[in-house]
Amino acid sequence: MVTPRGDTGSIVRVFDGDSFEADVNGEVVEVRMRGINAPEGYECHGNAARARLRELLDDAEITLVQDGEDDTDRYGRLLRSVYANGMFINATMVAEGHAVALQGGDPEEARLVRLSDTAFAEARGMWAPDACDETVDATIRITEVEYDPAGRDWQNKTEEWIVVRNAGDAVTDMAGWILRDESSTHRYEFPDGVTLDPDDELRIRTGCGDDRREDLYWCADDAVWSNGGDTVMLQTGAGTVVDRVRYDGDY
């Protein structure tokens, strides 16, 4: 492929599967790869994602392309599309299952989303059933996503929710399981004592309230599920992705 024009440099240090330091003309800069989100280092597949990014960038001339509206993220890191050895590295990380595509209006979003969907369908990388070195027998499915309740989302968080259903034949202990979105910040951990019988459902509401058998309350600080499109992921406590649903929204 033809590499777009941008700043060139070399890798200094890789932090995780989507961020690193690079030497650009003698200046060390911190880069956040745009349009993707890799597992954190402490999460399942985080070390593997970091190792793969280091492999792709080591001993290569890297090109950093600023092709979106935002130059930096909220931490001051450069938001960039990254190219090396004739590859679009952001896309490679997603295609191999080392990162999820973000739906936030990135110029390459459509391409990255397609690659992410394929990686999940083919159980690559972080989407593999053995990615977290455990065996999961449970069959829990995400069946409903209410991401856009009436009114302002942040004022009506209890009406923003996700429904999961036990499609298997055995009772599943959900304690410690995780419900999350595309970001690195929104995580809900199922509390102790929560079980799901075959064919039963649980509704996880974003707002605050008293947990009941069929309704759990995240009590998140703000609305979680983006109206512009998001990815809902259900994971075991160890991090194995048991189910994933991506939806499109309107910006």
Instruction: Give the Å distances, CA to CA, from 219 to 131, 150, 154, 209.
Output: 30, 18, 11, 7
Residue 89 in contact with residue 56, Cβ under 8 Å? yes
CATH topology of domain 7-127: OB fold (Dihydrolipoamide Acetyltransferase, E2P) (2.40.50)
Rounded mean pLDDT, 137-151: 95
Reported as a single tens digit per residue, the pLDDT across 218-230 is 999 999 999 999 9
What is the domain partition of the chain in residue ranges?
A: 7-127, 140-248
Model pLDDT, residue 165: 98
Cα(164)–Cα(199) distance, rounded to whole angstroms? 10
Burial category of 1 from C-beta neighbours within 10 Å (exposed 0-12, middle 13-18, buried 19 and up): exposed
User: 35 pLDDT exceeds 60?
Assistant: yes
Cα(110)–Cα(89) distance, rounded to whole angstroms? 16
Express as a percent the part of the chain with pLDDT over 90. 91
245 compared with 138, residue with greater pLDDT: 245
Cα(59)–Cα(79) distance, rounded to whole angstroms? 22
Residue 82 in contact with residue 89, Cβ under 8 Å? yes
The whole-chain average pLDDT of the chain stands at: 95
| Contact residues for 242 (Cβ-Cβ < 8 A; gap 6+) | 136, 138, 139, 140, 177, 234, 235, 236
Give SS3 for 61: coil
Q: What are phi and psi of 152, to 5 degrees?
A: -80, 130
Cα(219)–Cα(240) distance, rounded to whole angstroms? 24
Reported as a single tens digit per residue, the pLDDT across 51-69 is 999 999 999 999 999 988 8
Cα(231)–Cα(8) distance, rounded to whole angstroms? 33
Cα(68)–Cα(64) distance, rounded to whole angstroms? 12
Following DSSP, what letter does each residue of 105-169 receive, concatenated? --TTHHHHHHHHHHHHHTT-GGGSTTTTS------EEEEEEE---SS-GGG-GGG-EEEEEE-SS
Tell which CATH architecture fits domain 140-248.
Sandwich (2.60)
The pTM (predicted TM-score) of the whole model is 0.94
Model pLDDT, residue 251: 36
